[in-house]
């Protein structure tokens, strides 16, 4: 049995006690004391940044993974990030929140495109009513490979993409571009430090 000092009265008491027998102040065991640190502002900071790390990992997964995986990963990243910030892990928690917000933008965009397509699920003509060709085709999409630059992708498609989201974190610049056809089909591509790391499409022909 070890002895610890009461923070209120200074009397030495057992580390097994839940409260000081002298003044009644609640006690924290040495294990609990080791688990927390004090920040510059005097607030308690969790010494194990598990939630902050989880927020960043889930956020990256939400941005990089396909749409249906992002639906689950993005809310989880946002929740972990908010909790981490509240527990003093401001840097990791904030990064997780930023990544989750980028994922939200991507999810909203893809959801809108899916809604446009499902309005006429039996449409097979990729041209508009005035005969205009699509911006991007399935054949062009299949030519695009991981590691390509944004310039290489625009050469294949023949058109610049619309920037949907951007983040700069820990030396990594992540940008999401989207290409949409008049009929509602679309593709998006995620670039990290100017190299393609993920692509997704919906309804391309």
Q: pLDDT 10s digit of each residue in the chain, 205 long?
A: 577 777 777 788 777 777 888 887 787 654 444 444 444 444 444 456 887 888 888 888 877 877 777 788 888 888 888 888 888 888 888 888 888 888 888 888 888 777 766 665 445 444 444 456 889 999 999 999 999 999 999 999 999 999 999 998 888 899 999 999 987 889 999 999 999 999 999 989 8
Q: Which residues of 175-192 are buried (b: 16+ CB within 10 A; e: fewer)?
A: bbbbbbbebbbbbbbbbb
E-only strand ranges, the chain = 3-5, 12-14, 36-38, 44-46, 162-169, 172-180, 186-192, 195-202
Residue 120's pLDDT is 56
Q: What is the number of structural domains in the chain?
A: 1
- Give the closest residue to 21 by CA, choosing from 33, 31, 11: 11
Quick check: 89 and 160 in contact, CB under 8 A? no
Distance from C-alpha of 46 to C-alpha of 38, rounded to nearest angstrom: 9
| CATH number for the domain harbouring residue 193 | 3.30.1450.10
Q: Does a structural domain hold residue 196? A: yes
**Distances 17 to 8, 11, 14, 31, 48 between C-alpha atoms, Å:** 15, 13, 6, 13, 25
Distance from C-alpha of 200 to C-alpha of 190, rounded to nearest angstrom: 9
Judge if pTM exceeds 0.95. Answer: no
Q: Does a structural domain hold residue 9? A: no
Residue range of the domain that includes 101 = 50-202
Q: Does a structural domain hold residue 23? A: no
Q: Does a structural domain hold residue 96? A: yes
Q: Does a structural domain hold residue 34? A: no
Distance from C-alpha of 19 to C-alpha of 111, rounded to nearest angstrom: 54
Among left, alpha and beta (phi > 0; psi -120 to 50; other), residue 184 is left
- Give the closest residue to 153 by CA, choosing from 180, 114, 188: 188
Residue 194's pLDDT is 92
């Amino acid at each position: 049995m070890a002895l610890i000092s009461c923070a209120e009265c200074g009397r030495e008491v057992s580390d097994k006690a839940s409260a000081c027998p002298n003044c009644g102040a609640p006690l924290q065991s040495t294990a609990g004391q080791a688990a927390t640190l004090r920040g510059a502002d005097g607030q308690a900071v969790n010494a194990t940044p598990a939630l902050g790390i989880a927020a960043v990992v889930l956020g990256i997964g939400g941005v990089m993974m396909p749409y249906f995986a992002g639906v689950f990963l993005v809310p989880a990243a946002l929740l972990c990030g908010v909790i981490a910030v509240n527990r003093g892990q401001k840097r990791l928690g904030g990064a997780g929140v930023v990544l989750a917000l980028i994922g939200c933008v991507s999810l909203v965009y893809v959801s809108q495109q899916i809604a446009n397509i499902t309005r006429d699920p039996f449409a097979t003509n990729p041209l508009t009513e005035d005969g205009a060709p699509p911006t991007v085709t399935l054949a062009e999409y299949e030519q695009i490979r991981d590691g390509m630059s944004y310039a290489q992708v625009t050469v294949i498609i023949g058109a610049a993409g619309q920037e949907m989201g951007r983040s700069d974190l820990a030396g990594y610049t992540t940008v999401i571009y989207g290409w949409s056809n008049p009929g509602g089909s679309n593709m998006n591509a995620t670039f990290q430090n100017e190299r393609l790391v993920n692509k997704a499409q919906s309804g391309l022909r």
